[in-house]
Structure 1
Amino acid sequence: MNKDQVNGTAEKVKGKVNEAIGRATGNTKQEVKGDLQQAAGQARKNLGDVMEVVKKA
């Protein structure tokens, strides 16, 4: 597991928290921020996954 995978997963978790808080409080802006954080985290995790595959090849 590399740094990008770890950081991507952490960003996804922060995004889920922000989305849940936004949904619970009716704050659409925070909910959207959480969605964007999750997408960015997934992209970074995917980059880390690709890097691991390349490293093993």
Structure 2
Amino acid sequence: MDKDKTDGIKEQVKGWVDTAIGTVTGDEERKLKGDVEITNGASRKDYADQKDNIEKGVEDPGEPTNT
């Protein structure tokens, strides 16, 4: 698995944890930080998917759902 993909997934998981903790404790700053981490992680994972699609020769490599 591509390093960008694994790092993206890790960042998403970290974001989900921060969002959950922020929600439970009422810490809006931590909740917002978690939301940003989720978005950044998803973007990084999508980037890795696009790179994989280009290597596979997929017609539309910008669509991360192509396999």
* Runs ≥4 residues deviating over 3 A: none
Q: Which has the higher helix share?
A: 1
Over the aligned positions, Cα root-mean-square deviation in angstroms equals 0.6
TM-score by length of 2: 0.82
Q: CA deviation at 1:38?
A: 0.1
- Kindly indicate whether structure 1 or structure 2 has the higher relative contact order, using CA contacts under 8 Å at least 6 residues apart: 1
Unaligned 5+ residue runs, structure 2?
Answer: 58-67
TM-score by length of 1: 0.96
- In the alignment, residue 13 of structure 1 is paired with which amino acid? V
For residues 30 and 9 of structure 2, the distance between their equivalents in structure 1, rounded to whole angstroms, comes to 19
Secondary structure of the corresponding residue to residue 33 of structure 1 = helix
Q: Whose Rg is larger?
A: 2
Instruction: Give the share of equivalent positions with the same residue, in percent.
Output: 39
